[in-house]
Every structure is written in structure tokens, then in C-alpha cells.
Amino acid sequence: MNMRNKMQAERSAKEIFEQATKYAFDYSDNVESRSVFPSEKAIEDLRLFDEDMPKINGDASQILDQLHTFGSPASVAQTGGRYFGFVTGGALPVALATKWLTDFWDQNSGLYLMSPISSMLERVTERWLRGLFGLPDHVGASFLSGTSMAIFCGLAAARHRIYSNHGWDFNRQGHRGAPPIRIVAGSTSHGAVIKAVALIGFGLDHIEWVPSDKQGRLITDELPALDNSTIVLLQAGNVNTGSFDPIEQVCQLANEAGAWVHIDGAFGLWAGATSELKHLTSGMEKAQSWSVDGHKTLNTPYDNGILLCADQEALVAALQASGSYLSYSEHRDGMLYTPEMSRRARVIELWATLKYLGTQGVDELVFGLHQRAMQFADELTDQGFLVINDVVFNQVLVGFNRDDRYTLDIVEHIQTSGECWVGTSIWDDAKVIRISVCSWATTEEDVSRSVRAFVAARTAIGN
């Protein structure tokens, strides 16, 4: 059989899709009972993948079988309830099912002409996001791979606006001879913010760092004088403590000076979509751009990042694309708002997530993460552990007042127990344990069981 006939037979017989479905359900049925991090054997077995690329076309069923037998056990059980590493987020069932369905569409969301459905859902989702965050009507959304890219695009729009206000056409004239742009950022800014500043060419040595308080919040009184050549980078959700910069105060000063404010709220911006935690992002509507992820707090599958930008003219000009074969339309052409031309229609999963949750569901989901984080902190404290941050959102930091080796031993014991997975960070020059509650799947019992893993680790390590 030639290859095309074989593939047509695979498509119509559907056996490989049924096989994949069976494996996926098997994975999902076991995700709560398996070890959260893969076992040593599962990691060792990964060697099987390290082979030469085959010469002849293979067997689809065998490929799926290899993936399920050796790939599934070597994955991290991030869609279960006891993964608290980094700030990742699970995936809502409806979002996964939507992804399955729309994988068969394989849409390119670059132009309306390439995917009317994607164009429509980008427009609708953009409007819903404005509503959720209380942003004005002229704010637009870009659907990107993640927050890193969203910060990058926000900076590109800011640069375009500042330069055009100064009579400088950045796209044509570039950096050479350009008037300087100032970058002001809090001293605990996320690595993705720093990366974006470097990538875009502002130069890390030129960042004017603003000192932060004990919780990692930028101190407003320490801000340098702002002007209309300044970009201020704020944080909604410090990646260690979960704290929020004083958004209202800084935006006020920046607006008076004509500076551009970008708020990085990869996971924390969603506080602004709740009733109980909304105070944390108070004043956010006064900024010019915002970056936020669907794939963290909101629990869409990866990769799902969003840039919200109040200056669509500057954004589109900064990301300009032209080509004789491109036909823009009356409708929304997604690629005007992103660096990429071809792009998967990730908005569909975001749309399905928002449609499923509704505004009340978003509130319940995000506030629920906060409640589980509070429970974590309370139970750890009851057990004699030291929680060193104010748990304002979903992050809990545990310190030990011991040498770093002790902290690492505790963490390693917890991680290898398979009971849950927590990571480490450095806070106040010491190693700490960092807990991020970010999945809808985490129950009260998951938290208690994870606290028991902390206690067991302390008992096992002894003094």
C-alpha cells in the first residue's frame, strides 16, 4: 500500500483515534492515584526514545503504543490535584474536549479567510475579556503562545507609541540615533519581563530598578520621576509571594507623566475577575497594556497567552505584516495583532473555557485557588511549619530558618514520595519551598494529604 492510501485507511477506519482515546482515558483515570512525578524507572525507560530516525514509514498504532507505554508514565501528573510546582494550572475537561474536536479542524487563525470561526471567536473572546477585567471598549486582545510573548508585544507597542509621539518612525529608523526610552521596573520583576526587555533591545543595564518591600511589592515612594519616554513594568502576582504591586498609585503617577504602564499578570491578573480579590488589581484599567495567561490560573490547556492593549493602533503598527498574497478583510484578521503569521486557533479553547465557566465560574475557580492556598498555609502553620509570605493569592512560601541543605532535603523527600510536587525558590537570600495552587482539580483533601507529606518528610529527615 502506498503511504497516502495507508493514511486514508487510517483516517476512515478510526482505529488509531479510538486507541488514542482509550489511552487518554486510561491516563485520566490514573492521574490521581499515580506518583505525581515520574518514577526512576519511568525516567530510565525514556532511553527507548533515543533512536535513529527511521527510514521507512511506520506503524501508527505502534507509535501511539510507545507513547502511552513509555511516555505517559514519564509525564508529570499536572492535570491531577496535587501538583503545586511552578505556576502551571490544570486543564478543564471542557477545554480538553474542545481541543480534541478542534484538532481535527487544524485551523490557521492568521486571517479571516483562513478561518472564519476562529476570527469570530477571537472577537467574542476579546469582548468577554474586557468585561471580565473591567477594561474600556478600545482595549483589544492578542492571542499568543504565552505571557512571555505577550510582554514582548506589549513592549513593542509601547516603543512604537513613545517613538511616534516623538516624531520617530521606529519601523523605518530603528534604534540607531533614536531618542532614549526609559524602562522602570520593580526589583522582583519576573524573568520573562527581563527577557522581553533584553530581546526587544532596550538593554538590561538601562533598567531603572525600583526597590520592593518584604512581600516583593514595588515601593511607590522609591519610583524615579516618570516622563513621556518611560515604560513602567508592574506586576500583578509576584511569582514567589503572589503579591501585587500598588497598581492604582503607580498608574496615577504614570498617567500624569504620560508614561506607558504594562502590567504583567500572567497568573495574578485573574484576581481582577473575582469579587473577593478584585481589590488586588484595583486601578488596573488605568494601564496601557496587560499580559495574562489562560494556561495558568484559568486552566486552559497550553499554549494560551493573551496580550490586552489599549493602543491597538500602536500594536498593529509595531507588528505590521505585508505581502502581495495577504488579503485583510472587514472581519478580524488575527495576525494583525501577533508577531506570527500562521498560528493555531488557540482562542477556541479559551472561548470554551470562558463560556463554560461564565463570570461566576471564573470567580469561583480563581477564588477557590486562593481558599486552597489559605488552607495550605493554615494547616502547615498548625503543624509547626513557617509560612513566610502573606497569602494574598495562590502562592505559599515555606521557610525553615535552617541551612539550605535542610530545606533541599525536605523538598527532595516530598518530591520522591510521589504524594505531591512542590518546588523551591530563593527568598530573602534563603532557599524556601514554593507552593502554587493553580488547578481546579485540587481538593481540600489533596491539600491535607500534601501537608501530611511535609510532616512525613520532616520526620524522616529528623534534626
Ligand X SMILES: *Cc1c(COP(=O)(O)O)cnc(C)c1O
Which single residue is written with the C-alpha cell 481589590? 279
Minimum separation from the CB atom of position 86 to ligand X (A): 8
Candidate list 38, 237, 242, 294; residue touching ligand X; CB under 6 A:
237
Phi, psi of 426 (to 5 degrees): -120, 130
Does residue number 267 form part of the binding site for ligand X (CB under 6 A)? Answer: yes
Reference 89, options 456, 462, 436; nearest CA is 436
Stretch that binds ligand X, among 30-38, 262-270, 279-287, 342-350 (CB under 6 A): 262-270
Candidate list 130, 190, 262, 431; residue touching ligand X; CB under 6 A:
190
Candidate list 230, 305, 397, 440; residue touching ligand X; CB under 6 A:
305
108: its cell numbers: 490557521
Stretch that binds ligand X, among 141-149, 398-406, 421-429, 448-456 (CB under 6 A): 141-149
Candidate list 126, 245, 293, 363; residue touching ligand X; CB under 6 A:
293
Does residue number 239 form part of the binding site for ligand X (CB under 6 A)? Answer: yes
Candidate list 36, 64, 87, 308; residue touching ligand X; CB under 6 A:
87
Minimum separation from the CB atom of position 145 to ligand X (A): 7
Q: What angle do CA 408, 418, 443 make, to 5 degrees?
A: 105
Helix-strand-coil split of the chain, %, nearest 5: 50, 15, 40
Minimum separation from the CB atom of position 87 to ligand X (A): 5
Spell out the long-range contacts of 25-29 with Cβ–Cβ below 8 A and sequence spacing 24 or more.
26/68, 26/72, 27/68, 27/72, 28/79
Candidate list 73, 90, 110, 146; residue touching ligand X; CB under 6 A:
146
Does residue number 266 form part of the binding site for ligand X (CB under 6 A)? Answer: yes
Contacts of 305 (CB under 8 A, 6+ apart): 143, 144, 145, 146, 147, 148, 149, 150, 266, 291, 292, 293, 294, 295
Return the amino acid letter for 450: S
* Cβ(422)–Cβ(439) below 8 Å: no
Phi, psi of 412 (to 5 degrees): -65, -40
Minimum separation from the CB atom of position 194 to ligand X (A): 10
Residue among 80 and 265 whose Cβ is closer to ligand X: 265
Residue among 192 and 397 whose Cβ is closer to ligand X: 192
Candidate list 122, 245, 264, 446; residue touching ligand X; CB under 6 A:
264
Residue among 90 and 146 whose Cβ is closer to ligand X: 146
Tell me 268's DSSP state. G
Stretch that binds ligand X, among 206-214, 261-269, 341-349, 356-364 (CB under 6 A): 261-269
171: its cell numbers: 519601523
Residue among 73 and 90 whose Cβ is closer to ligand X: 90
The CB-nearest residue to ligand X is 146
Does residue number 89 form part of the binding site for ligand X (CB under 6 A)? Answer: no
Task: Count Cα atoms within 13 angstroms, Cβ side, for 279.
Answer: 2
Q: What is the dihedral of CA 107, 113, 117, 118, to 10 degrees?
A: 60
Residue among 434 and 458 whose Cβ is closer to ligand X: 434
Residue among 277 and 410 whose Cβ is closer to ligand X: 277
Reference 247, options 225, 230, 227, 264; nearest CA is 264
Q: Which residues bind ligand X (CB under 6 A)?
A: 87, 146-148, 190, 192, 237, 239, 264, 266-267, 293, 305
